[in-house]
Chains A and B, each alone.
Chain A
């Protein structure tokens, strides 16, 4: 069920195709007792309106820190965004104060997390948790608590929860993991955000539930026109739902391209390694060992000089051991941080 939404979004829809989000040279550092951790070490990214961007990488590569940095949710101390620019619809998010930020969080940009069960408040009904978002941000749409509750029932129906009037009175523990994630999505979508950041939204769910949730996110994206940043470690999900892919490693975006391009012509040795590590049926019985990237992601203490992938890279050259590669653009709209692609 659709309701009238704020006219402000209309203006935004007109700039379709323009960049919704621009991140330039973003550095987020954590000042821990053990030393300085450069969780993000110069990230450049842009997201077109109406697109889904997948951010891929292994744990500890900075995916979640990037997601949290966009919403300025980095706990300070120990973390701080020390440098860079995040512009969202032409405004610099890093220049906003706390009050201005609150008008954006959950309203223009919202986020869903990996653990649906722990992200919901156990002592409030799901209906009132969704209504809270609407009352906070969209007074003109639903002025009273009653109206907001009605709107939250609409949202529950929209995300495909059966019998929404009744379910709105349920507490989170009465729902399954998949249902909780639907509630999280309903809450995130309640204000029709321009950007949805989903941090591993389906990792805790079964495959069949995962397929339903991914479908739902796709449907809502088309219906509402929300752009999505999908943080995941699953290349399968990226292949199925994303138009663009950014591969992260040790706080850098090491490769960025359209999804079709990155799967057919992966350039960075890390991206190639990740793709080859996914087991496929029957490969073993053809006598092929599964490809594994040797070693592990370096911790901040053992970060190698030069390219941070040089200790695990099968194509390492001399220059990789001394200098971190800048961004090369061997193809239109395909960028990579690897010395191998310098010539182009």
Chain B
């Protein structure tokens, strides 16, 4: 099967400025050589902590940032080479849902114009067709058509996220980038939105890149999961394999840190084995070595490459578990 999205060696760094005149003072490698593939009708989870480059990667895919090097191929076309009609076609093919449903809807517009706007921009049909489609979309995300006349502030967080989903689906994309779509929602509402996303995927044959810091949500919704640490993919495997047998020490650390909703007999929390914070070690070598309990000399000499240790299970570590 051909991948719908192929990311090849993508890099993006931001220069750090200091002082009054903002002289460049080093650089942050937000995305540092990422290769990923996403297949049709698949959900690929992307997990990692704040600052690891998840959102920058999403922005690169959506062409909201230009990469330093690397290629992104969507549906057979290199997105950074595409111009004119080809570019418009790509932009129609991928849509995004953001974390904050309060900040991502224009408060001055009614739901009707919010949902109709992408269709008007891409001229998907006559005015009547667009109007009918908006009603259809609202029904699809579980809202009633009379809500079209209302403003965003009249809705709860979960309902707003449904509006965001309806807007994203308006122009029939094949890829939906979900950047922490349920993180701002309460548990019961979160479950409703996750079920909606799962249902829409099977009905519309969508592909999701599902970005989240919540391992249980990602584990539930994704077929495969990529773990990102300081701009690199450190482990990539099917959800089942990743949770059964995490190979990278960082993945293990992340999993141990998630509080298990089953009470323990002893009252104390499991102590985090190693903290991924700590100083940023530059230069050659594994970025995780400062926090890693398993690090050896070789870890500071060479950056470990992402390699396949078992079928479909990739890890970037010199000494996988």
Contacts and interface: CB of A to CB of B under 8 A. Distances in A.
Q: Which of B49, B264, B271, B272 counts the most chain A CB atoms within 10 A?
A: B272
Interface string B216-245: 110111000000000000000001100100
Interface in A295-324: 296-297
A260 B263 contact: yes
Contacts of A243: 267
A103 interface: no
A275 B268 CA distance: 21
A280 B192 CA distance: 15
B158 interface: yes
A329 interface: no
Chain A interface residue number, banded: 35 or more
Interface string A206-240: 11111110110010000000000000011111111
A284 B221 contact: yes
Contacts of B254: 207-208
B261 interface: yes
B191 A282 contact: no
A235 B216 CA distance: 12
B192 A292 contact: yes
Contacts of A210: 257, 259
Q: Which of A208, A234, A240, A277 has the most CB of B within 10 A?
A: A208
Nearest to B265: A260
B216 A280 contact: yes
Nearest to B240: A282
B219 A281 contact: yes
A284 B220 contact: yes
B262 A211 contact: no
A278 interface: yes
Interface stretch (B86-94, B182-190, B312-320): B182-190
B215 interface: yes
A340 to B, nearest CB: 19
Interface in B50-99: 50
B259 to A, nearest CB: 3
Contact of B187 (A176, A278, A283): A278
A243 B49 CA distance: 29
A208 B257 contact: yes
B110 interface: no
A279 B257 contact: no
B262 A214 contact: no
Interface in B251-277: 253-254, 256-264, 267-272, 275-277
A259 interface: yes
B216 A241 contact: no
Nearest to B291: A208
Nearest to A176: B277
A260 B253 CA distance: 26
Given A178-B277, A215-B271, A283-B220, A239 B263 contact: yes
Contact of A240 (B159, B186, B269): B269
Contact of A292 (B49, B191, B219, B256): B191
B226 to A, nearest CB: 16
Given A239-B260, A292-B188, A278 B216 contact: yes
B158 A296 contact: yes
Contacts of A93: none
B187 A274 contact: yes
Given A58-B186, A281-B220, A236 B269 contact: no
Given A215-B272, A241-B267, A279 B188 contact: no
A293 interface: yes
23 contacts: A52-B267, A176-B277, A206-B50, A207-B213, A207-B258, A208-B257, A208-B275, A208-B276, A210-B257, A211-B256, A211-B270, A211-B272, A214-B259, A218-B269, A236-B258, A240-B260, A240-B269, A263-B261, A273-B188, A281-B239, A282-B243, A285-B239, A293-B188
Interface of B: 49-50, 156, 158-159, 186-192, 194-195, 198, 213, 215-217, 219-221, 239-240, 243, 253-254, 256-264, 267-272, 275-277
Given A208-B257, A279-B220, A281-B219, 5 more contacts: A207-B49, A235-B187, A277-B190, A278-B187, A291-B191
